[in-house]
Amino acid sequence: MKEKSINRKSFIKKTTLGALVGTSLLSCKPKSEKSDGSAAIISQKKYKWKMVTTWPPNFPVLGEACNYFAQWVEEMTGGQISIKVYGGGELIPALECFDAVSGGAAEIGSGASYYWAGRSPATQFFTTVPFGMNAQQMNSWLYCGGGQELWKDLYANYNLVPFPAGNTGVQMAGWFNREINNIEDFKGLKMRMPGLGGKVLERAGGSAVLSAGSEIYTNLERGVIDATEWIGPYHDYNMGFHKIAKYYYAPGWHETGSTLEVFFNKPVFDNLEPRLKTILETAAYRMNAWTLAEFEAKNNEYLQRLITEENVELRQFSKDILSKLKEYTSEMLADITAKDEDSAKIFKSYDAFRKNIKQWSSHSEKPYHNLL
């Protein structure tokens, strides 16, 4: 009881001191402010940058967010930084953004870190882990649980500086040209599925195919793939997948809260004055919040359209299927972390945070959702 009392007093004392410090800071001028105005001198150097993306040009939400990012940065810098956004294929192929920014051919890139698994398998953990954390939990880990520091350390090896810049929320499991009634039905299935989920699919006997968003419809239509996951109802409706695939499955076990990214060429970013770095990071924060909000706003509306207008039949994977996929996930993670030091270090942080926050959500969100 005495220890609890001390902790409480300490907490209250810190809170009171924080308030007093905040008040005192507001009531006095910064010491660096001089009468000669030298502190007010800031660079007016102009920057004209290229932003290359994995998304088709002006693609809803994903491409739009990049356009907004460029707009926000230009507004906040008073035109000091001007960014030209290039959709996938306009300047370089969609899946070459990482190398283009790393090599200095462009200053900024936008994509999802699991696209770069060929550079390092550890990149995948900063997008999503099958049966892993949701969007708000990913944000908590990245911003407040050490995840972003690990991300920056990893990308520094490739001359890049990354920031979270969007999240899809929980995705759908995808569109299939055949029914999936048991785990055996994954055998021989060719499915567009990137990241760690693709590794799980392979353990179930399927083949994971990585392709840019602009190629998915054609690949599915021509039989290059038998199934595809993309994001959720909003994009799936507009991509027209319901016209060429009969079965629409949930839940998105493979992508439970997929973080998107912007990344900067490191020498370019590091040489900026602190004010401009802060503006770029702030714009990424705004991009992160807007993207998830827009996905959530649109997905329910378009799910209803798929059901009422297109007569799409929604399917749920059985508990037996999900249980087996979860088992394969554990095997896959053990295999990757045993073989790759960076993956082991990053997943250790991810998994520890996931276990802790799962305990909290089991007493907060889960009981609430069970009441609905």
The closest of 236, 257, 254 to 198, measured between CA atoms, is: 254
- Are 66 and 184 found together in one domain? no
Give the CATH number of the domain where residue 196 resides: 3.40.190.10
- Are 147 and 55 found together in one domain? yes
Q: Where does residue 223 fall: left (phi above 0), alpha (psi -120 to 50 degrees), or beta otherwise?
A: left
**What are φ and ψ of residue 60, in 5° steps?**
-50, 135
Rounded CA-CA distance 42/25 in Å is 23
Domain range for 237 is: 174-256+298-357
**Enclosing H/E stretch for 148:** helix 147-156
Beta bridge partners, 111, equal 261
Q: Specify if 20 maps to a domain.
A: no
- Are 185 and 69 found together in one domain? no
Tell me the pairing of strands 227-228 and 174-176. Answer: antiparallel
Provide the pLDDT for residue 29.
45
Provide the pLDDT for residue 9.
61
Give the CATH number of the domain where residue 149 resides: 3.40.190.170
pLDDT above 90 (res 46): yes
**Enclosing H/E stretch for 52:** strand 47-53
Provide the pLDDT for residue 369.
82
Model-level pTM? 0.87
pLDDT above 50 (res 16): no
User: Within a 10 A sphere around the Cβ of 82, how many other Cβ atoms?
Assistant: 13
pLDDT above 70 (res 38): no
Rounded CA-CA distance 103/107 in Å is 9
Q: Specify if 329 maps to a domain.
A: yes
Q: Specify if 18 maps to a domain.
A: no
Rounded CA-CA distance 40/35 in Å is 10
- Are 134 and 207 found together in one domain? no
- Are 228 and 276 found together in one domain? no
According to DSSP, residue 169 is labeled -
Q: Specify if 213 maps to a domain.
A: yes
Q: What are the residues whose beta carbons fall under 8 Å from the beta carbon of 143, sequence distance 6 or more?
A: 164
- Are 162 and 275 found together in one domain? yes
End position of a domain, from candidates 246, 265, 296: 296
Query: Do the beta carbons of residue 234 and residue 299 sit within 8 Å?
Result: yes
- Are 183 and 88 found together in one domain? no
User: Within a 10 A sphere around the Cβ of 309, how many other Cβ atoms?
Assistant: 11
* Paired tokens of 308: 């009422």
- Are 310 and 223 found together in one domain? yes
* pLDDT tens for each residue of 68-99: 999 999 999 999 999 999 999 999 999 999 99
Provide the pLDDT for residue 35.
41
CA distances from 320 to 108, 171, 180, 323 (A): 43, 20, 12, 5
* Paired tokens of 227: 């199934």
Provide the pLDDT for residue 213.
79
**Enclosing H/E stretch for 247:** strand 247-250
- The tally of domains found in the chain comes to 2
Q: Specify if 188 maps to a domain.
A: yes
Query: Do the beta carbons of residue 287 and residue 166 sit within 8 Å?
Result: yes
- Are 132 and 279 found together in one domain? yes
Q: Specify if 31 maps to a domain.
A: no
CA distances from 251 to 111, 178, 257, 296 (A): 23, 17, 12, 15
Q: Specify if 214 maps to a domain.
A: yes
- Are 185 and 67 found together in one domain? no
Q: What is the mean pLDDT of residues 167-177?
A: 96
Q: Specify if 39 maps to a domain.
A: no
- Are 222 and 263 found together in one domain? no
Provide the pLDDT for residue 8.
54
Out of 43-52, 128-137, 208-217, pick the least confident: 208-217
- Are 126 and 227 found together in one domain? no
